[in-house]
Amino acid sequence: IVVDKGGHRHFMLKEIMDQPQAMTAALKDRADFANGRPADVMQLERVVLIGCGTSLHAAQVGRHYIERLAGIPAEAESASEFRYRDPIIGPRTLVVSIGQSGETADTVAAMHLAREKGATLITICNAEESQAARVADGALYMHAGLEVGVASTKTFVASLTILQLLSVYLAETTRRLVDQMARGPGLIGEVLAEANLYSSLARRIGHYDNFLFLGRGANAAIASEGALKLKEISYIHAEGYPAGEMKHGPIALIDPEMCTVALAPRDDLRDKTLSNIKEVKARGGLVVAVLTKGDDEAASEVDFPLFIPQAPDLLMPLVTTVPLQLLSYYIALLRGCDVDQPRNLAKSVTVE
């Protein structure tokens, strides 16, 4: 395997830039199931998605996909919590573990528990021949290529892509969804083409010491992932919150020293998030918002709009992920942090 930065300053930036290909690779040869859902799928009662770190956030997005597309109850949980509960699962539960490495100790232990309880167990992972792949009944590989940056980026996008595929596979009508998915790499590429905007925004907001990331629906998990990326690589305190929960606590933190990053693309929850944005502005907070291109009304409410292309709901979490990665990257760069190997963190955590 050739490991080079492809002309970029860091592996992380290369891996962010590689995301259209990562999505294409995850989709490749897999989107050919337009014939409706297989009969054994009808027996599934529940889907439980588990993972740690970024993979937990993928699980949280996956839950939305499974429920919305396949109409099967789904839940997402940290593998480190799941393993010490006494989860009610059985043969009609599908447990899906997600992991870049397939070696995270908590995830592997949680999979053993699921197996003992008789669940059907599959794993979504990047590393082939990993422990996760050995424990599972089946593995869906990401084929994202080696990810060197400690903070996961392209494997997050690959995880979401496979979770979409899985949800579509479990759904009844698939063709339209498969067609939509094919647009993903191009939409991500459109955001990446504007990477230099994020570098200049980083110079304007990189000195803030507190960030609040807000989103709703699947974008609540992306807000958590945005906060995690910023914490991991720039050591800035950041919280990810479902926007609707803001009034139950985080709003007390809003003042001119707090930078809020809101995800408010045009979808059925955009108006709700916009009203959260107005609440932040009314309290003197600074607002950066990820908005759909052309949404001038929303843009006029915020300090720094970040525009993304109009995307189908299914693809929205993949597209909103990218601006947050780029923002974290350029802020970390500005602060002189070791982007690829942040302090105290390991690429994979193989002990508890």
54 interacts with ligand G6P by CB under 6 A:
yes
Number of residues near ligand G6P (by CB under 6 A): 17
Q: Which is nearer to ligand G6P, 163 or 302 (CB)?
A: 163
Q: Which is nearer to ligand G6P, 335 or 347 (CB)?
A: 347
Q: Which is nearer to ligand G6P, 37 or 347 (CB)?
A: 347
CB of 235 to ligand G6P, least distance (A): 14
DSSP 271: H
User: For the chain, what is the total number of helices (H) and then of strands (E)?
Assistant: 14, 10
Q: Which is nearer to ligand G6P, 92 or 343 (CB)?
A: 343
Q: What share of the chain is helix, strand, coil (3-state, %, to 5)?
A: 50, 15, 35
What is the spatial distance between Cα 151 and Cα 347, in angstroms, rounded to a whole number? Answer: 7
Give one DSSP letter per residue of 142-203, joined into a string.
Answer: -------SSS--HHHHHHHHHHHHHHHHHSS--HHHHHHHTTHHHHHHHHHTTHHHHHHHHH
CB of 10 to ligand G6P, least distance (A): 15
Residue labelled with tokens 């191009």: 186
227 interacts with ligand G6P by CB under 6 A:
no
Contact, 88 vs 74, CB < 8 A? no
Query: What is the footprint of ligand G6P within residues 143-202 (CB under 6 A)?
Result: 150-152
Query: What is the footprint of ligand G6P within residues 78-117 (CB under 6 A)?
Result: 99-101, 104, 107
CB of 53 to ligand G6P, least distance (A): 3
Contact, 283 vs 251, CB < 8 A? yes
CA-based angle 55:69:126, to the nearest 5? Answer: 30
CB of 150 to ligand G6P, least distance (A): 5
Q: Which is nearer to ligand G6P, 107 or 321 (CB)?
A: 107
E strand or H helix at 75, and its extent?
strand 74-78
CB of 329 to ligand G6P, least distance (A): 14
Q: Which is nearer to ligand G6P, 97 or 276 (CB)?
A: 97
CB of 78 to ligand G6P, least distance (A): 10
Could you list the residues that contact ligand G6P (CB under 6 A)?
Answer: 52-55, 99-101, 104, 107, 150-152, 345-349
